[in-house]
Structure 1
Amino acid sequence: MTESSRAAVTWRFRFAGDKVSRVLNWRSDGPPDLARVVPIRKPRSSERHRHIPVTAYSLTMRDHLELESGLEHDLLRRLDRLNDIVALIPQPCQLKRGGSSSAKNTPDLLSLDDTGAVTLWNARLPHKMDDKFKLQVAMVEAACANVGWRHEVFNGLDRVERLNLLWLHGYRRRPSWYDQVAGEIGKEASNDAATLGSLFRLDTGNGEAIAVVWHMVWSGELDTNLSKRLTMETPVRAGLVA
């Protein structure tokens, strides 16, 4: 066993009301109160940090989140529509391992689901996954496993899925007339032969049913394959995204 693999990992969090971050001792302090965890740093762009910060609204959090890049925004768009996700925190903590081969990483996003499961996410495109990043990932994965959390690397979306989510992003908010047409849409979607076209044909010409269909696809009330191009022939069925 090498010195670096024996070295302990330090977890650092910043909590609401604190001016600075502080080290959390899992053994004595227990797990962090996620309701009080706030971003440990503010995204910025500079000569050394060439990310393009993004301020994005999250329906899960009912608030704007400050992200470091468009790739993180893609991750947010994917997670924000999942019905089992109850909390999303950008830049939630910093992990650091000492020893001769030290490693340090600030995960890009934390997600909490309705079972209490916590996942730390690092967003990185495949061609940018260098040896330094792989060392960081190994450290974070091991540290998460030790405390009952999970770690995932998000390496982007396929072009079609990304474009579909960008389109659906415009229909996140439930229309005020939702209750007037959602029942009929849901009934049609229970038909095994239901398609986007058959649902759109329920529209009376004012566009209200079409808008609700798109919202129901975004929310997962209507299930379809977003990895393929959406057309009038795209199969749709009733369901929930999870």
Structure 2
Amino acid sequence: MNKELMELIVDESRRFSGNALVQWKPTAKTKMEAPADRTLLSRHLYLAEPFRKPKSYPRQRNYYGLYYFSQTKTHVWHESLNEANMMMYLDHVESITAINSQPMEIRFADGLRHVPDLMALHSNHRQVVYDIKPTAKITSKALEQFAKTQAVCTKVGWGYEVLAGLPEQVQTNLSWLNYFHHPLFAPEREATSRLLAALTAPARFDEAAHILSPQAIAYGRSALFHLLWLRVVRADMSARINGNTLIERSPHAHA
């Protein structure tokens, strides 16, 4: 998350009341509407159907599709490759129990409307609304829309974040690790405990893979990629991951 951008959005949001009407789809064939207030916290909008779902057409520029969110084991609709990448990022760095896309339409007090990109229920019960926009495309108009959305979320009690993209190498590494999210790549518990016990200091990637699987280094590498995806261990994501990449225990990991 871009901390400076969010500080600017929060500051700008103070100009707006947060008064709005929120409309969502509990099912594909039903709609509900309510004022933006704290009663919406009990409406479970993170389980709503996508409020809009454009149809594909020849030579379309957006990359529509479904992202498999590994934490919830569900497919989540996205309207662009950038949205898919940011879902992948959330899947990797956050602890999420439910997530959906285009969860609602917000009709602001001035009559303008906005459909946020994502809404998630985090494992700590925090409900968070997300908008996704590359930094280069955040205009003054978009910034005002984000500020209005922030004001609404503050009034309801939702968290709000704008995801503006990742550095190229971080995105490349994350896309690679995502290939190894499936539990079939998981090492045996004993092997994971052995690795964590050995990581009293950072170890080279190939050394860590050998600890996981002394007889089959290829399996050890796949298992290590899986543990990196789960954040059981960690590495510098700003550099290309290779055999010399240093691997260390994550702070929350237990041997």
Shorter-chain TM-score range? 0.7 to 0.9
Aligned to 1:214: 225
Count of residues paired in the alignment? 234
Aligned residue among 18, 22, 30 for 1:20: 30
For the 8 Å contact 2:18–2:148, the answer to whether it is kept is no
Aligned residue among 126, 137, 148 for 1:117: 126
Aligned to 1:64: 75
Deviates more, 1:193-202 or 1:144-153: 193-202
Deviates more, 1:111-120 or 1:163-172: 111-120
Q: Report the CA distance between 1:181 and its aligned residue.
A: 2.8
Q: Are 2:187 and 1:178 equivalent residues in the alignment?
A: yes
Gaps of 5+ in 1: none
Q: Report the CA distance between 1:36 and its aligned residue.
A: 4.0
Aligned to 1:187: 197
Gaps of 5+ in 2: 1-14
For the 8 Å contact 2:185–2:226, the answer to whether it is kept is no
Deviates more, 1:222-231 or 1:150-159: 222-231
RMSD over aligned Cα atoms: 2.6
Q: Report the CA distance between 1:154 and its aligned residue.
A: 1.0
Deviates more, 1:122-131 or 1:218-227: 122-131
Q: Are 2:70 and 1:76 equivalent residues in the alignment?
A: no
Q: Report the CA distance between 1:186 and its aligned residue.
A: 2.4
Q: Report the CA distance between 1:182 and its aligned residue.
A: 2.3
Deviates more, 1:159-168 or 1:130-139: 130-139
Q: Percent identity?
A: 20
Provide closer, same or farther for how the CA distance between residues 241 and 88 of structure 1 changes in structure 2, counting only shifts above 3 A. Answer: farther
Q: Are 2:245 and 1:234 equivalent residues in the alignment?
A: yes
Question: What TM-score results when the alignment is normalised by the length of structure 2?
Answer: 0.81
Please give the residue correspondences for 1:78-157 in structure 2 after superposition, counting only pairs within 5 Å. Answer: 78-82=89-93, 84-99=95-110, 102-157=111-166
Please give the residue correspondences for 1:42-61 in structure 2 after superposition, counting only pairs within 5 Å. Answer: 42-45=53-56, 50-61=61-72
Q: Report the CA distance between 1:46 and its aligned residue.
A: 5.5
Deviates more, 1:116-125 or 1:210-219: 116-125
User: Could you say which structure has the higher helix fraction?
Assistant: 2
For the 8 Å contact 2:49–2:100, the answer to whether it is kept is yes
Q: SS of the counterpart of 2:98? A: strand
Q: SS of the counterpart of 2:175? A: helix
For the 8 Å contact 1:58–1:64, the answer to whether it is kept is yes
1:188-239 C-alpha deviation (Å, 9 max, x unpaired): 2x22132312112333236222211110000011122212222323222222
For the 8 Å contact 2:18–2:152, the answer to whether it is kept is no
1:25-76 C-alpha deviation (Å, 9 max, x unpaired): 35595421246422112144459x8422121111122121110101111111
Aligned residue among 50, 62, 71 for 1:39: 50
